């Protein structure tokens, strides 16, 4: 019975003696870091359509999921959409694209990148349609291939200015080659969600 009565006292002494070791071990244990970074952007976009000098103004919105960095670069998955707000007089473009972006980690406020996007787009021909080879085209849809480049300039950990350029190849267009290259330039803002623990 005396041995049973002494057990609580012995347990208390052992706990008191071992507690500093447990606390030290907890402090030394490395904390997990967030290897993914989610961000969203919105931008004003100028489009040179490549069809009879057509131009229009639109808005681009998108989301990016940055993955773990490797060898000074960071792969990023991107989805973006383009919608016209000033359709011009010849043709307006809207598109939904997705693909891979590669960020170059230079260790300062400017974050340059290159990307390749792919998706589907729609051209709406204004002013009653576009006449080509005795046909009038009202709308055409096609796959869009969009290589590009740009940079984000940090204003804070969460906010950055975006400058972006794309060279987009559209097919199924009423031209002699059946395709056209559109030049797309955007400037806007990026917002990063969560804590920014990645370089």
pLDDT surpasses 50 at 3: no
């990026």: which residue's tokens? 190
| 27/122: higher pLDDT | 122
Q: Which pTM does this prediction carry?
A: 0.79
Count Cα atoms within 13 angstroms, Cβ side, for 29: 8
pLDDT surpasses 50 at 95: yes
Residue 35's pLDDT band, with cuts at 50, 70 and 90, is confident
DSSP state string for the chain: -HHHHHHHHHHHHHHHHHHHHHHHHHHHSPPP----EEEEEEEEEEEE-SSTT-EEEEEEEEEEEE---BTTEEEEEEEEEEEEEE--SSEEEEEEEEEEEEEE--SSSEEEEEEEEEEEEEEEE-TT-EEETTEEESEEEEEEEEEEEEEEEESSSSEEEEEEEEEEEEES-SSSSSEEEEEEEEEEEEEE-S-----
What's CA 157's distance to the chain center, in Å? 16
pLDDT surpasses 80 at 29: no
**8 Å CB contact between 103 and 72:** no
Residue 107's pLDDT band, with cuts at 50, 70 and 90, is confident
pLDDT computed for residue 115 by the predictor: 98
pLDDT surpasses 90 at 93: yes
Q: Pairing relation of β-strands 179-192 and 37-48?
A: antiparallel
Domains and CATH numbers, the chain: 37-192 (2.40.160.20)
């Amino acid at each position: 019975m005396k041995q049973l009565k002494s057990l609580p006292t012995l347990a208390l002494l052992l706990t008191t003696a071992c507690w500093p070791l447990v606390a030290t071990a907890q402090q030394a244990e490395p904390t997990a870091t967030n290897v993914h970074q989610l961000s969203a952007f919105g931008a004003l976009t100028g489009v040179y359509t490549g069809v009879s000098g057509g131009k229009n103004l639109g808005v681009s919105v998108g989301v990016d999921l940055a993955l773990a960095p490797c060898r000074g670069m960071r792969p990023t998955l991107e989805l973006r959409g383009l919608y016209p707000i000033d359709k011009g007089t010849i043709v307006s473009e809207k598109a939904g694209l997705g693909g891979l972006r590669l960020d170059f980690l230079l260790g300062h406020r400017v974050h340059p990148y290159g990307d390749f996007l792919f998706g589907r787009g729609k051209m709406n021909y204004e002013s009653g349609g576009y006449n080509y080879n005795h046909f009038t085209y009202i709308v055409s849809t096609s796959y869009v291939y969009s290589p590009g480049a740009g940079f984000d300039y940090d204003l804070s950990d969460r906010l950055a200015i975006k400058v972006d350029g794309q060279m987009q190849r559209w097919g199924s267009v009423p031209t002699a080659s059946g395709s056209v290259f559109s030049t797309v330039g955007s400037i806007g803002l990026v917002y990063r969600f969560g804590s920014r623990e990645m370089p």
